[in-house]
A and B are shown apart, each in its own frame.
Chain A
């Protein structure tokens, strides 16, 4: 079923541009060498700064929503309706086709159960995967790799950015890549440069564990990248990545995935969500950042072509924002939020999770959207079903994430 849907979608694209054809053929070729095992991938997107879930997936069926947000609500007639009760912010229109094709699912009132309203702590908890526990040293995405079948790929876990985020730090090797085009030392060349060899030797023999380890991963990756030459995979014609860091991150991520270097988990983030002042409604600050967000995700989806069939993308943000607008036409730090789950195997076209309501008595601490789904239930299902890692106790220690509790997001 799903395969057919993806195929149809890509078939439509082949009419527009032929560049998806080589990808299609390539996949067939590589499929054989991999013994028929599908390369399943999980991409995690972090919206840093606490995105306002109530203005992103709008509960337009709630009178209380409009009462609490006199100046920054999204009018009923402006939302992209999802199911008669929820609707997408109009700036998310690039994602609407995916919803209609049932490749996009939404989980509302989800997030981290910890009550903190500190950006720093909440991001830390969501990345460590142990809300409330500060002593956890590694990130959950790093732990996810631990129980997967062994892989030699240096690109197995990749973060797009100059520094490795908390979510991917830990004993399993993971890469941070800010720009594929200058990933090397001493200029571009198809072979290792003499400088690369020198630095590699210097660091390989160093007793400085942290630098030695990081350098080994780096130079492995440099070599693989030179062989795979991802630059040859330019974006598909219909994939219009917007300008900016996030679009560029996803564009390069697509290049890596298309170059078949063995990406299993990937991470990218996008900032600019902390709208304490003048948040805006259908237009304004939140609309601008949502446009960048949705255009980038839609471009990735189109760009991946058939590879999207094996890809699941999950978005998250450290907490939501106050249900009521504040005195500056913005919103302050809140609690639960909306998560997007996008991908080939996703059972989309549905808003998952129990809606707690927005009446005064239903709000968390009298001010925020209450939380009904722990984010670990959502990502746990992806880790289990998409990546095939059944050891969820290790990924999320102390959390009861049995498969019986899954929402059924992924086929």
Chain B
């Protein structure tokens, strides 16, 4: 199946990773070492960059893995510099809502329940949204008088786009802020693609944010989150941490398109997932269970025990008023009845822990839902955090998987999570999924079993499970080499890394992933995205990859520049061949099939391909084209 399979002297590395009597195979063929380094990089990172293989070899594979398992030991300042302008990444959900108000907040302001912020830029964002909000309201009231009702607005042409675009960045912002909110909305709507880019050119990140936010505040939050994902995957030196953060985000999937989650995922990734990506599974489970992102996504925040005080209190009160004074989670006050919501209870067992055949019943689902009733949110639409509401919690004992859970309020939940985190089904399910990510679509059962045992023995320590995997011959077997087809995210990022691309606008890359069927944070079902080849190798997906490869290499993706190849000496014909060889090394680690090599070298002579003019046979070879063909080749689709 895989071309140029390089049989490793596998055992030697397995020995290095802790199997008994490590004999240093100094004589091991250097080619094998190189192949091992490439394999390791393909699996534990988002793809090797030119020079990575040499770095791993000089450091030693074991040492490299040890460092990656302790990301805090790796200097990542260059990445931090790239992320610094994206300030929403450092905000709490509440700050995000306040700075980039969703419709709910704008409605509050429109109904005078909340004032406008003082800061002029923030104020401008709010005012622009107020204009939009009122326009929408007017449309609802009736489209009849729409033309007469709206106040006279200066024609956007009269605002003189070109004059404004000619100003210095600061002056542009100042002019924009001077306009009436109606004028701002019209003006920004009148800017088309390139003019828009020109308008924000040279502005500080904050100024850019303001301009985007005047159009759509929410978009700033989402754009920065997604851009950060691309930048981290591409540039972080803590690659394993990024790979594992991506893995757990997909495992504990939350969909960005669902209401309040638009403002919660930044914090979810930063505070819940990343800090535990290489830690203990139970910590991940506890933190996701109590995270606003998950509570909202799987509706648990609305779940109310049928015999809870909240539910019965309402029924007892003839006037339909709340039995209890005090604040209840927003959105619940208006509800007449209350009940259990099983959504989280089911997915917790099916997708987060035991797996679908992990040995639970519908009865267990209902019992777990009772256990987690009362795990709710205060004002989720305004970035309010977790709260446990005793009044919503189902009282009494519960039986989960045959275990008696004593009536104990919030404690019950942690008891169940502990039970699930240490269940043998969970160990197998998580081990199997990790092996599917790192080894093959159908990992050998013996490997999964070994990893599951470590999971149980080492208290769900994810780093330890990975170490067991790396010490297993199955990881290093010829069958595993290049066995994984890259997902669109892995493909795109590995291409950026292989070409040492300079990404100045990652949002463009984000849009490309959308058309390849893998929008970031965009998996709607709680299963997340598949890791299997069959899902990602379709006609549309393949064409999408080839087009991306060609456009990336040709520098036709806005906001992305690939590093130019140093010119090589000699005549043009030789140069072309040398360029091909050198690119094969850089992009495919030299692992190129005869077919791919020959197709490209044959095409180098084709004027239609090489862009060479017929009367100029010694013109320079089209390096970008060679690069694009290699990135679109079958070899580059695997890792």
Contact = CB atoms under 8 A, between A and B. Distances in A.
A202 B356 contact: no
Contacts of A194: 603, 606, 608-609
Interface stretch (A56-64, A172-180, A298-306): A172-180
Contacts of A209: 1
B356 A185 contact: no
A138 to B, nearest CB: 10
Given A183-B540, A205-B595, A198 B629 contact: yes
A163 B356 contact: no
A221 B341 CA distance: 46
Interface of B: 1-3, 299, 302-304, 306, 311, 335-343, 346, 350-351, 356, 362, 365, 485, 515-518, 524-527, 533-544, 546-547, 550, 593, 595-596, 599-600, 603, 606, 608-609, 628-629, 632-634, 637-638
Contacts of A177: 539-540
A120 B527 contact: yes
Interface string A269-281: 0010000110000
Contacts of B540: 161-163, 176-179, 183
Nearest to A205: B595
B301 to A, nearest CB: 10
Interface stretch (A83-91, A96-104, A307-315, A327-335): A327-335
A276 B356 CA distance: 21
Given A121-B356, A202-B596, A327 B629 contact: no
A185 B304 contact: no
Contact of A163 (B337, B351, B536): B536
5 contacts: A120-B525, A163-B541, A271-B524, A327-B338, A327-B340
B304 A327 contact: yes
B304 to A, nearest CB: 5
Given A185-B543, A214-B538, A327-B302, A118 B1 contact: no
Contacts of A332: 341-343
A199 interface: yes
Contact of A202 (B302, B543, B634, B638): B634
B599 A218 contact: no
B1 A176 contact: no
B547 A182 contact: yes
A70 B536 CA distance: 44
A164 interface: yes
B171 to A, nearest CB: 38
Contacts of A27: none
Contact of A326 (B1, B339, B356, B603): B339
A205 B599 contact: yes
Contacts of A71: 336-337
A206 to B, nearest CB: 4
Contacts of A175: 538-539
A162 B2 contact: no
Given A328-B339, A332-B342, 8 more contacts: A163-B536, A195-B609, A199-B629, A199-B632, A202-B595, A203-B634, A205-B599, A277-B341
A387 to B, nearest CB: 22
A54 to B, nearest CB: 17
B346 A221 contact: no
A154 to B, nearest CB: 9
A120 B634 contact: no
A183 B342 contact: no
Interface string A44-75: 00001100000000000000000000110000
A201 interface: yes
Interface of A: 48-49, 70-71, 116-121, 159, 161-164, 169, 175-179, 182-186, 194-195, 198-199, 201-203, 205-212, 214-215, 217-218, 221-222, 271, 276-277, 326-330, 332-333, 365
A215 B542 contact: yes
B550 A186 contact: yes
B533 to A, nearest CB: 6
B511 to A, nearest CB: 13
A274 to B, nearest CB: 8
A276 B343 contact: yes
Contacts of A116: 356
B339 A162 contact: no
A176 B362 contact: no
Contacts of B356: 116, 118, 120-121
B525 A119 contact: yes
A198 B629 CA distance: 8
Contact of B538 (A49, A162, A277): A162
Contact of B539 (A48, A119, A198, A221): A221
Contacts of B632: 185, 199
A210 B608 contact: no
B595 A161 contact: no
A332 B343 CA distance: 8
The A interface, classified by DSSP as helix, strand, loop or mixed, is loop
Nearest to A220: B539
Contact of B362 (A49, A120, A182, A365): A365
B599 A202 contact: yes
B537 to A, nearest CB: 5
B60 to A, nearest CB: 32
Given A118-B346, A176-B541, A332-B342, A210 B534 contact: yes
B593 to A, nearest CB: 7
The list of the 6 closest CB pairs from A to B, nearest first, reads A327-B339, A162-B517, A205-B595, A176-B538, A218-B539, A164-B538
B588 to A, nearest CB: 12
A333 B547 contact: no
B517 A206 contact: no
Contact of A184 (B342, B525, B543): B543
Given A162-B544, A202-B599, A207 B533 contact: no
Contacts of A118: 346, 350, 356
Nearest to A175: B539
B539 A217 contact: yes
Contacts of B311: 327
A326 B538 CA distance: 40
B536 A329 contact: no
Nearest to A115: B362
Contacts of B546: 185, 195, 199
A326 B369 CA distance: 13
Nearest to B602: A201
Given A176-B541, A178-B515, A276-B343, A163 B362 contact: no
Nearest to A48: B525
B10 to A, nearest CB: 22
Contacts of B595: 201-202, 205-206
B495 to A, nearest CB: 15
A177 B540 CA distance: 5
A173 B335 CA distance: 51
B269 to A, nearest CB: 23
Contacts of A70: 336-337
A330 B609 CA distance: 58
B473 to A, nearest CB: 24
A198 B547 contact: no
B486 to A, nearest CB: 11
Contacts of B606: 194
A143 B350 CA distance: 29
Interface centre among B299, B339, B365, B539 (most CB of A within 10 A): B539
B368 to A, nearest CB: 14
Contacts of A203: 634
B200 to A, nearest CB: 28
A375 B96 CA distance: 47
B45 to A, nearest CB: 22
Contacts of A208: 1-3, 634, 638
Contact of B550 (A195, A205, A328, A365): A195
Nearest to B373: A327
Nearest to A211: B634
A206 B634 contact: yes
Contacts of B538: 159, 162-164, 175-176, 214
